[in-house]
Structure 1
């Protein structure tokens, strides 16, 4: 089983993303992801003003949230991706609405308790993280969200065609073409919702492959 602190694999993935963003700026385009569009609707319905995005990359979703009227704190462990995000925010006149923060999700968030209205993470939690690290990351999200705060995240799941193939790293992590993924089963999703109100587990496909994902929506109880 892969253990927290497997520095070799972590550093390999860090270099992979730095090189990818450098070679392919705007690799995902400028249009928001479908999960981000859904998340914005959820956030508006519960009166959200501030959004924390984990794993923002070069910022297509962070910029969409900003254009939608939210104040956004965008985090990523790739300095290259965040530099591209900052440049796009400035060019788009959104710099006042977007704050970037270089951060590795394996570490505690450098944010106060109850400091954000909502959080969003598109495929971040299914990166090269152990189950223990995933639990810690979600606990940190819960810490920084206010009571009633919403968390929308997406992950590739064990129904994906890549699950169980490629290079096995243990703990349901498999690597293809230099890209490692932690595939989620339903048990893990439900365990991560402990202490939250689980609103939805929505299956969807993305990309030409296609990737098989779940979009999960959960909220902090208002009496928390």
Structure 2
């Protein structure tokens, strides 16, 4: 994590994060996205916090029509380039939003929110509520969040409150007659520090299906 002061505006923080590195992420899709989405019928998808487009490109390759959203113009430019290289530019669209302030219009068969956790201010609860509202009838909301610091992190780089499996559902407060919970679990993944220390990290996964109008 960066040691950039937490008072820095979110746009400036994330622009610097991407601008100062040739590549931030691996380009591979998140493994929990692949696991949870592989059995779904492709339709329209919204990828919140898409970064350099690894998840969005993978979804497009599976037949989804994807809208990727990020706060960073640099990240979105790279994502569009990766989509073109992968031959799925015609199945992807890119929108710049400061989530918590603006949000894409429309409804989607899949709304994916992976790791919407930030060292600078982010209205995570508000964004996730708007994400749920953007799911079309019969569609899926997939949320993946870190459950805590990785095992090799001896000193937290900044103050953070991590969610529990119960707290996210409580905050969403989705009507039980309109939503079904298909996945609700904590998954432990291998994790390696920038210095090569091997360890693990726990993630919470929620896959929710909208069953009512």
Q: Please report the TM-score for the alignment, with normalisation by the length of structure 1.
A: 0.76
Q: Post-superposition shift, 1:217?
A: 0.8
Provide the C-alpha distance between the structure 1 equivalents of 2:83 and 2:66, rounded to a whole number of angstroms.
Answer: 11
Kept after mapping to 2: 8 A contact 1:55/1:121: yes
Cα distance in 2 for partners of 1:207, 1:189 equals: 24
For residues 30 and 46 of structure 2, what CA distance do their matches in structure 1 show? 16
- Matching residue of 1:24: 21
SS state at 1:100 partner: strand
Contact 1:157 1:212 in 2 (8 A): yes
Structure number having the greater helix percentage: 1
* Rounded Cα–Cα distance in structure 2 between residues aligned with 1:127 and 1:219: 26
RMSD: 2.6
Query: Which residue number corresponds to residue 68 of structure 1?
Result: 62
**Aligned counterparts of 1:186 and 1:35: Cα–Cα separation in 2:** 16
Task: Report deviation, 1:163.
Answer: 10
1:199 aligns with 182
Instruction: Answer yes or no: is 1:151 the counterpart of 2:135.
Output: no
Change (3 A) 1:120 1:25: farther
Q: CA deviation at 1:150?
A: 0.4
The DSSP-based 3-state class of the residue aligned with 2:6 is helix
Gap regions ≥5 residues in structure 1: 1-7, 174-181
TM superposition score normalised by structure 2: 0.80
How many matched pairs? 197
Does the Cα contact within 8 Å between 2:112 and 2:142 map onto a contact in 1?
Answer: yes
1:37 to 3, 16, 34: 34
Q: Which residue of 2 aligns with 1:223?
A: 212
